[in-house]
Amino acid sequence: MEVDKHIQDSLQKSGIRRDADVCQLSLAAKKLTGVPDLSRFRFLRELWLNNNKIRELSRRSLSCCLTELYLHNNNIKSVSGALNHLTCLRLLFLHNNQIRGLEDTMHELRRMQQLQTATFFLNPISHEPGYRHHMIHCLPSIQVLDRREVKPAERRRSFQMHSPERHRVLQSVAFCRRAARPAG
């Protein structure tokens, strides 16, 4: 199979003989249309699958120990059901794909509590109303989103927009006032 040959070539160039020694793997620009099964690489941390023709992602193909995942410049339409087990991920590049559905995407990423850098620009979701604030709110550890640093003011505004009741209570506590309950 063509993919296995690409993997073997990559490992030979790196001088790696055992699957257990693979912590980085580059399959960039190999004209892949899908993600190969990489489960044999239990210690894989960094994976480059950018500049391919990948349309769909599969949960079983990706190691749960990944810390960096490069999937930019593909034809991915959705990440639903494929990434939520990647709880160690710190860097995720998904720009220049066809990803739609902000709510579904955020549901998929909600467990990524260590994600610090992510890119989604040049995807339909990046044009949805409130996109940036929603991403910042749902990914509390994010420091850089779409190549722009997340500012403290943006973080406060995101919290205020997406958790108005908690924001109101925190404001009342901060200024030693009792929070007024809405009539109803």
Q: In CATH, what number is assigned to the domain containing residue 92?
A: 3.80.10.10
pLDDT (average), residues 165-171: 54
Could you tell me if residue 134 is inside a domain?
A: yes
User: Is 80 exceeded by the pLDDT of residue 153?
Assistant: yes
Q: Quick check: is 171 in a domain? A: no
Domain containing 63 equals: 2-150
* CB < 8 Å & 24+ apart, contacts of 120-126: 120/94, 120/95, 120/145, 120/146, 121/95, 121/96, 121/146, 121/147, 122/95, 122/96, 122/97, 123/94, 123/95, 123/96, 123/97, 123/98, 123/99, 124/98, 124/99, 124/100, 125/99, 125/100, 125/101
The answer as to whether 156 is a domain residue is no
Segment 101-121, tens digit of pLDDT: 999 999 999 999 999 999 999
pLDDT per residue as tens digits for the range 73-94:
999 999 999 999 999 999 999 9
Q: What is the mean pLDDT of residues 131-139?
A: 93
- The verdict on residue 168 lying in a domain is no
Domain count across the chain: 1
